[in-house]
Amino acid sequence: MKAIASLIIPNIGLWLVFAAAIFGWVRRGRASRNRALIAAIGILLVLSFPAGPRLAADIWRLPVPETPWAPAGAGTAVFVFGGGIDTDGYAHFWPSEASMRRVSVGRMIAAESGVPLMVSGGPTSGAGPTEAKVIADMLATEKFDVLRDDTALNTWDNAVAARAAMERYGWTSVYAVTDAIHGRRAVACLRAQGVPVAGFRAPRRESGITAEDFIPSVRGLAHWGVVGYEIVASVVYLMKGRIELSDLHG
């Protein structure tokens, strides 16, 4: 019952828009003046199927290994790309859901392998703490040491920080940890910076397409934003000369 409600309630408005458009088109006839509107509604309808962005994400994301995680080798450090922080507006901060996913996997790999763990993430607001500090403070409660990069403002800066840390600490490679959809651009930036990538890990494997993914929903439209952002950001990095097409290969 809860699952059905979570599917229906958020999408009632979207379904009503589609129903009204179809009803109006049928009632007024297929006049040429209505074709542009109907075409726009049709495109919106197609984009609202979650199956579309799921397929696009499957093509774009880096493959995640079948095993839960692979141990990092000697001379390798686990490098976690920060995923943001949240706040209550009263100077209290905590890692975002994305950061928690990423650092949890990074900590497990580092602990099992006995290698250093670095978290990269700079300030997200003028007066607030950095992503790396908030995440490191959370890990400190578990008595787990973590290296920090407090300067990175974007994925390219993360890679620049990884290169600097590799030279400073004498690492030979890094084991990159971030979300799967972000992995292709993240690893490309590391390669462009001359950082050998010993492995890649995302917090979770994505499930396959289900029947629900063929029901128009707000979720489908939102997922296009995530996939589109990564593709556009990669194109921008290519245009700026930060990465090359070869860096994007899995």
- Reading the block at residue 48, the tokens are 């609202």
Task: Report pTM.
Answer: 0.83
Reported as half-sphere exposure (CB side, CA atoms, 13 A), residue 63 has a value of 5
3-state secondary structure of 197: strand
List pLDDT tens digits, range 84-109.
Answer: 999 888 888 999 999 999 999 999 88
3-state secondary structure of 211: helix
Residue 1: band (very low, low, confident or very high) from pLDDT cuts 50, 70, 90: very low
In sequence order, what are the residues at sequence separation of 6 or more whose Cβ sits closer than 8 angstroms to the Cβ of residue 176? Answer: 79, 81, 183, 186, 187, 190, 197, 199, 200, 201
Q: What is the separation of C-alpha 192 from the centre of its chain, rounded to a whole number of angstroms?
A: 20
Stretch (H or E) spanning 79: strand 76-81
Residue 177's pLDDT is: 94
Give, as one character, the DSSP assignment of residue 48: T
Q: Give the alpha-carbon dihedral of 40, 54, 97, 181, to 10 degrees.
A: -110
What fold, for 76-207+232-248?
Rossmann fold (3.40.50)
List pLDDT tens digits, range 146-164.
Answer: 899 999 999 999 999 999 9
Q: Which of 179, 175, 180, 177 is nearest to 197 (CA)?
A: 175
List pLDDT tens digits, range 183-236.
Answer: 999 999 999 999 999 888 887 656 677 888 887 787 888 888 889 999 999 999
- In this predicted structure, the answer to whether residue 37 has a pLDDT above a threshold of 70 is no
Residue 116's pLDDT is: 92
Three state DSSP letters for 86-148: EECCCCCEEECHHHHHHHHHHHHHHHHHCCCEEEECCECCCCCCEHHHHHHHHHHCCCCCCEE
Strongest mean pLDDT among 2-6, 113-117, 155-159, 197-201? 155-159
CB-CB contact of 180 with 102 (8 Å): no
Residue 14's pLDDT is: 57
Domain residue spans of the chain:
76-207+232-248
